[in-house]
């Protein structure tokens, strides 16, 4: 399926099946803000549970917190967000569309990279089994020319960003002839910085209210609670603090559905380590986080590492895990070695000492931090993109979400074949037994075929059908979503089978 079509289908599917609705739709919507519906919230909660347990329950030295969205405004001064949490924006004068200048350049580089991949693909077809990809990439004149071009643009771009030279950023766009995707023209304005934080007022305006911010990341709530958690939890370095919560950014170029939202959720963990040991822990967390993704069983080729060419001034290593969304490989999670920058800044701005006293070495130090930061909504979108399938079954097309069983919104659908003869009562007994452990749905409307299709479309891994034979021999039919195979099993075995197969520990045990 063409990827653009897939994306449109996923968006339509999310609405039709109660996963995601445009916020304030009744009032024509609020751009880049979304509501999660009855199935969406279940899937989202399951992803959170998987992350939370993987981070805290499986790592004894990682604990969780839930800090407030509002924080003292000086925190955002200390963190650098007031002065530097900006996007470089550029407008096309013909289409009147606004873009992030850095994204325009990155997309342009990606297009050159696609050209390299096309050359490689063509050569692979031409040479067949004898094709040596590595040799081709390092010797083919055209590929080398493209690669050199990418490197040269990247170097210029990094230098321009480092020097905060917005005119130079614009010049790259002009020199490379980057066009507006809408108007196709090169009629660009200058590049301007735009701060992404939302402001509001705390207290009554008449009494001189304070400006406060809606947090643009959850991480700062962790940094400012470092001492509280370390002391009350008697934590020893290395240890981590995890948090799941809302973050807000006034994204100007907010497209691509829930990929870039103005209100979204992050799952972040800061791991506090001894200075000098941060790169070792950075490698450990890189591996752990990639395993977390792979354990969900999605094609590993959908994930790749992206090394940051331009490190933030406080970071000494940074990689992203990118996922191949229907609109290309994009950032899903960041793993960053942030040194002691944040804690130091909070020491300076609060005037309080934020250190760890090591009893063994009898020395105090400001811990270094390795951060893992993943967007919950992007994880949601990555799962839907990978699990949405259209299959030909006889004459019709079935849409199925082959989500990992334990993440599916509804684990079991209980379906009496007909609405009479005592079948609903029998089905209800099963439901009443299972509902204390897993999320089930009872459905008796429409033909059994239609009910199966509806459950496939929301990713329900098991459908249980109760028929007349059930009343005679206490057996039911279990239908498996992915294979559509149906088996007759004793009703009293059901609970054991489905609980075992939908248990989150099936994923956790792979880590």
Residue closer to ligand GAP by CB (options 170, 330) is 330
Residue closer to ligand GAP by CB (options 102, 467) is 102
Binding to ligand GAP (CB under 6 A): which residues in 446-485?
Answer: none
In the complex, least distance from residue 18 CB atom to ligand GAP, rounded to whole angstroms: 21
Record the tokens describing residue 494, joined without a space. Answer: 């059901």
464, β-bridge pairs: 414, 478
Which among 64, 72, 62 is positioned nearest to 352, based on CA atoms? 72
In the complex, least distance from residue 75 CB atom to ligand GAP, rounded to whole angstroms: 13
Residue closer to ligand GAP by CB (options 251, 443) is 251
Q: Residue with structure tokens 């055209």?
A: 142
* Rounded Cα distance, 267 and 94, in Å: 40
Record the tokens describing residue 495, joined without a space. Answer: 């609970």
Record the tokens describing residue 286, joined without a space. Answer: 């890189």
In the complex, least distance from residue 182 CB atom to ligand GAP, rounded to whole angstroms: 21
Residue with the shortest CB distance to ligand GAP: 375
Pairing type for strands 412-416 and 462-466 reads parallel
Say whether residue 374 binds ligand GAP (CB under 6 A): yes
170, 215, 286, 378: which one binds ligand GAP (CB under 6 A)? 378
261, 269, 296, 434: which one binds ligand GAP (CB under 6 A)? 261
Say whether residue 219 binds ligand GAP (CB under 6 A): yes
* Rounded Cα distance, 177 and 164, in Å: 22
DSSP-derived secondary structure for 392-455: EETTEEEEEE---GGG-S-SEEEEESSSSTTHHHHHHHHHHHHTTTS-EEE--SS-HHHHHHHH
In the complex, least distance from residue 166 CB atom to ligand GAP, rounded to whole angstroms: 20
* Rounded Cα distance, 127 and 501, in Å: 46
Report CA-CA distances (Å) from 15 to 198, 290, 329, 381, 500. Answer: 28, 30, 24, 13, 31
67, 92, 243, 266: which one binds ligand GAP (CB under 6 A)? 266
Say whether residue 268 binds ligand GAP (CB under 6 A): yes
377, 405, 443, 467: which one binds ligand GAP (CB under 6 A)? 377
Stretch that binds ligand GAP, among 271-279, 281-289, 369-377, 467-475 (CB under 6 A): 369-377
In the complex, least distance from residue 501 CB atom to ligand GAP, rounded to whole angstroms: 29
In the complex, least distance from residue 458 CB atom to ligand GAP, rounded to whole angstroms: 23
Residue closer to ligand GAP by CB (options 142, 313) is 313
Measured between its terminal Cα atoms, the distance across the chain in Å is 32
Per the CB < 8 A criterion, the answer to whether 281 and 289 are in contact is no
Stretch that binds ligand GAP, among 37-45, 263-271, 393-401, 490-498 (CB under 6 A): 263-271
Residues that bind ligand GAP (rule: CB under 6 A) add up to a total of 19
Binding to ligand GAP (CB under 6 A): which residues in 324-343?
Answer: 331-334
Say whether residue 264 binds ligand GAP (CB under 6 A): yes
Output the 3-class SS for 114-162: HHHHHHHHHHHHHHHHHCCHHHHHHHCHHHHHHHHHHHHHHHHHHHHHH
* Rounded Cα distance, 488 and 510, in Å: 30
Say whether residue 249 binds ligand GAP (CB under 6 A): yes
Backbone angles phi, psi at 147, to 5 degrees: -60, -40
81, 260, 286, 481: which one binds ligand GAP (CB under 6 A)? 260
What DSSP state is assigned to residue 511? -
251, 405, 443, 467: which one binds ligand GAP (CB under 6 A)? 251
Which residues are near ligand GAP by CB under 6 A?
217, 219, 249, 251, 260-261, 264, 266, 268, 331-334, 371, 373-375, 377-378
């Amino acid at each position: 399926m063409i990827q653009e079509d897939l994306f449109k289908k996923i968006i339509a599917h999310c609405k039709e099946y109660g996963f995601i609705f445009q916020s304030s739709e009744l009032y024509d919507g609020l751009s880049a803000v979304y509501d999660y519906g009855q199935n969406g919230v279940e899937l989202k909660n399951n992803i959170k549970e998987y992350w939370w347990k993987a981070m805290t329950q499986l790592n004894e030295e990682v604990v969780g917190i839930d800090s407030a969205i509002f924080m003292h405004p000086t925190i955002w001064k200390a963190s650098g967000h007031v002065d530097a949490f900006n996007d470089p924006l550029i407008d096309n004068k013909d289409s009147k569309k606004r873009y992030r200048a850095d994204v325009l350049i990155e997309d342009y580089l990606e297009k050159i990279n696609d050209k390299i991949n096309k050359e490689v693909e063509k050569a692979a077809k031409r040479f067949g089994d004898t094709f040596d990809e590595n040799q081709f990439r390092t010797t083919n004149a055209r590929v080398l020319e493209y690669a050199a071009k990418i490197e040269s643009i990247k170097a210029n771009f990094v230098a321009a960003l480092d020097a905060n030279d917005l005119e130079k950023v614009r010049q790259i766009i002009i020199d490379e002839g980057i066009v507006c995707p809408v108007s196709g023209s090169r009629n660009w304005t200058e590049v301007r910085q735009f701060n992404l934080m939302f402001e509001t007022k705390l207290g009554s305006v008449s009494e001189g209210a304070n400006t406060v911010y809606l947090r643009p990341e959850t991480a700062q709530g962790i940094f400012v609670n470092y001492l509280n958690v370390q002391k009350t939890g008697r934590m020893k370095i290395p240890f981590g603090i995890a948090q799941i919560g809302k973050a807000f950014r006034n994204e100007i170029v907010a497209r691509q559905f829930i990929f870039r939202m103005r209100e979204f959720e992050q799952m972040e963990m800061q791991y506090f380590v001894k200075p000098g040991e941060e790169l070792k822990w950075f490698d450990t967390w890189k591996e752990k986080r990639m395993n977390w993704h792979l354990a969900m069983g999605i094609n590993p080729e959908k994930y790749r590492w992206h090394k940051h060419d331009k490190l933030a001034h406080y970071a000494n290593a940074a990689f992203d895990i990118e996922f191949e969304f229907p609109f290309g490989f994009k950032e899903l999670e960041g793993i960053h070695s942030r040194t002691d920058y944040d804690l130091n800044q909070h020491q300076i701005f609060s005037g309080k000492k934020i250190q760890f006293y090591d009893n063994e070495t009898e020395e105090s130090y400001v811990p270094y931090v390795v951060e893992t930061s993943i967007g919950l909504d992007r994880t949601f979108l990555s799962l839907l993109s990978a699990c949405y399938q259209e299959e030909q079954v006889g004459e019709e097309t079935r849409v199925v979400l082959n989500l990992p069983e334990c993440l599916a919104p509804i684990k079991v659908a209980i379906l009496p074949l007909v609405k009479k003869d005592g079948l609903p009562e029998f089905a209800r007994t099963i439901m009443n037994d299972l509902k204390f452990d897993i999320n089930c749905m009872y459905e008796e409307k429409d033909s059994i075929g239609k009910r199966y299709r509806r459950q496939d479309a929301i990713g329900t891994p098991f459908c249980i059908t109760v028929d007349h034979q059930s009343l005679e021999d206490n057996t039911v039919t279990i239908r498996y979503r992915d294979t559509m195979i149906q088996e007759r099993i004793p009703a009293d075995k059901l609970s054991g089978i489905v609980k075992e197969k939908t248990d989150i520990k099936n994923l956790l045990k792979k880590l």
